[in-house]
Chain A
Amino acid sequence: MLEPIHSPPFTKHPVKWAQINLFSNWFNSLVTLLVLYALVTYVPGILDWIFFSADWSGQTKADCSGEGACWVFIDARMNQFLYGFYPDDEQWRVNLAFILLLALVIPLFIEKVPRKGWLIAFLLIGYPIIATWLFQGNIFGLSQVDTEQWGGLMLTLVIATVGIIASLPIGIILALGRRSEMPIIRWICVTFIEVMRGIPLITILFMASVMLPLFMPEGVSFDKLVRAMIGITLFQSAYMAEVIRGGLQAIPKGQYEAADALGLNYFQKMFLVILPQALKLVIPGIVNTFIALFKDTSLILIIGLFELSGIMKAALNDPEWLGFATEGYLFAALIYWMFCFSMSRYSQHIEQKLNTGHR
Chain B
Amino acid sequence: MTKSHIKDEIEIELKNVNKWYDDFHVLRDINLQVRKGERIVICGPSGSGKSTMIRCLNRLEAHQEGDITIEGTPLTNDVRNIDAIRKDVGMVFQHFNLFPHLTVLDNCCLAPQWVKKQPRKEAEATAMKFLDRVKIPDQALKYPGQLSGGQQQRVAIARSLCMNPNIMLFDEPTSALDPEMIKEVLDVMVELADEGMTMLCVTHEMGFAKRVADRVIFMDAGEIIEENNPHDFFDNPQSERTQLFLSQILHN
Contact = CB atoms under 8 A, between A and B. Distances in A.
B86 A358 contact: no
Given A254-B93, A268-B114, A273-B99, A261 B143 contact: no
A261 B91 contact: yes
Contact of B115 (A268, A273, A277, A359): A268
B110 A263 contact: no
Contacts of A272: 110, 114
Interface in B58-92: 58-60, 83, 86-87, 89-91
A357 B146 contact: yes
B86 A260 contact: yes
B90 A261 contact: yes
Given A263-B83, A264-B115, A359-B145, A277 B97 contact: no
A249 interface: no
Nearest to A265: B83
Nearest to A271: B114
A299 B169 CA distance: 58
Given A257-B93, A358-B143, A262 B101 contact: no
B100 A262 contact: no
B86 A261 contact: yes
A260 B58 CA distance: 9
A268 to B, nearest CB: 5
Contacts of A261: 58, 60, 86, 89-91, 160
Nearest to A358: B145
Across the A-B interface, the 4 shortest Cβ-Cβ residue pairs? A358-B145, A258-B97, A254-B97, A263-B86
6 contacts: A254-B93, A260-B58, A261-B89, A263-B111, A263-B163, A273-B99
Interface of A: 252, 254-255, 257-265, 268, 272-273, 276-277, 280, 354, 356-359
Interface of B: 58-60, 83, 86-87, 89-91, 93, 95, 97-101, 110-111, 114-115, 143-146, 159-160, 163
Given A257-B97, A280-B101, A359-B100, 13 more contacts: A258-B97, A260-B58, A261-B60, A262-B111, A262-B160, A263-B87, A263-B111, A264-B110, A273-B99, A356-B143, A357-B146, A358-B145, A359-B145
